[in-house]
Amino acid sequence: MGYKVAVVGATGNVGREMLNILDERNFPADEVVALASRKSVGTDCSFGDKTLKAKALDHYDFSDVDICLMSAGGAVSKEWSPKIAAQGAVVIDNSSAWRMDPDVPLIVPEVNADAAAGFTKKNIIANPNCSTAQLVVALKPLHDRATIKRVVVATYQSVSGAGKEAMDELFAQTKAVFQIDEIVPKKFPKRIAFNLIPQIDAFMEDGYTKEEWKMLVETKKILDPKIRLVATCVRVPVFIGHSEAVNVEFEKPITVEEAREALRGAPGCIVIDKHEPGGYVTPYESAGEDGTYISRIREDATVENGLTMWIVSDNLRKGAALNAIQIAESLIKRKLITAKQKAA
């Protein structure tokens, strides 16, 4: 018997990608339901060669749902995830609402799949922030090899990371530039077309943004609490694909060749690193792909054991939808969930 899967936020960027990936990977689902807000009831959501009609979250009965993939933002998740979990569905949530809750595992299957076993306390599992997900996939094999002490990361994050309205804003502003129309920022604090913005999420008291803080605390929770990390998160006028320039300092020596070798065999990692024009991966090329691409691996001679590299991935896939579905697959593989009996 297969699973019944609910996708909450099915009309959004991440939700649409979830439906695509469930179909592409032949996820063992007998039934998939698309849920969104009341305003989207009846909206077509494509699922392989089928079309699902969106239903309203607040009228939905989850009692026969096995897995709920949530991607409707933090406020919706705070209110709804516990109610859905109480009806016996495992909630895999994409928002930041539950990530730092000690009773909620924060999982990137390539890195800490075993930690998912603790999900039964709340019946909720959290997906990390998109920038953290691709970072820890690439850091894990290097950490295993030479023990990471410190990470300095600058991100170049695409507008899709801020939802579908943000993509529309980049498109509309780009058009306005060519038509010499007025540009009025709405979703972003400043113009994003032909520009970049060194602020993602709200400012905190210490001057860092919440996105930068999330990268620090989530990397510690997923990979190792001893790792020190400092981030500068920047929004760039790219539709899909987050990029990161990363400096890593290790406890033990590690050469560029050893790092390449460790990354080449590691789950989720793809090394493309030729010393020639175009011998690296750009965010545009990562869109629609599952891998975390690592390029430009070099020695950082400013510290004792240091490397620097360029990491790119599709933020809607590894950064969100794909990671959530890999978590669900790993629960099934480890026999941590079973399908509920459904009424005939």
Ligand X SMILES: NC(=O)c1ccc[n+]([C@@H]2O[C@H](COP(=O)([O-])OP(=O)(O)OC[C@H]3O[C@@H](n4cnc5c(N)ncnc54)[C@H](OP(=O)(O)O)[C@@H]3O)[C@@H](O)[C@H]2O)c1
Of the pair 187, 298, the CB lying nearest ligand X is at 187
- Torsions phi, psi for 29 (to 5 deg): -110, 130
Of 130, 143, 233, 269, the catalytic one is 130
Longest C-alpha distance within the chain, in Å? Answer: 66
Q: Is 37 in the site for ligand X (CB under 6 A)?
A: yes
Sheet strands (E) in the chain = 3-8, 29-36, 44-47, 50-53, 55-56, 67-70, 90-93, 124-126, 148-157, 228-235, 242-250, 269-271, 292-299, 306-313
Can you read off the two tokens belonging to residue 291? Answer: 């891998």
- Of 5, 6, 14, 138, which one interacts with ligand X (CB under 6 A)? 14
Position 130 contacts ligand X (CB under 6 A)? yes
Residue type, 312: V
In the complex with ligand X, which residue's Cβ is closer, 104 or 271?
104
Residue 160 binds ligand X (CB under 6 A)? yes
In the list 3, 33, 71, 222, the residue contacting ligand X (rule: CB under 6 A) is 71
Question: Which one of 4-12, 182-190, 215-223, 290-298 is the stretch in contact with ligand X (CB under 6 A)?
Answer: 4-12
Residue 269 known to be catalytic: no
H-helix or E-strand containing 325? helix 322-333
Which helix H or strand E contains 143, and what residues bound it?
Answer: helix 130-146
The CB-of-13 to ligand X minimum distance in angstroms stands at 4
Is there a catalytic annotation at residue 242? yes
DSSP label of 96: S
Please give the helix or strand (H or E) that residue 175 lies within, else none: helix 164-178
72 touching ligand X, by CB under 6 A: yes
| Residues 312-341, interacting with ligand X (CB under 6 A) | 315-316, 319-320
Please identify the residue of the shown chain whose CB is closest to the bound ligand X. Answer: 12
Q: Which of residues 245-304 bind ligand X (CB under 6 A)?
A: none
Could you list the residues that contact ligand X (CB under 6 A)? 8-15, 36-37, 39-40, 57, 71-74, 76, 94-95, 130, 160-161, 163-164, 315-316, 319-320
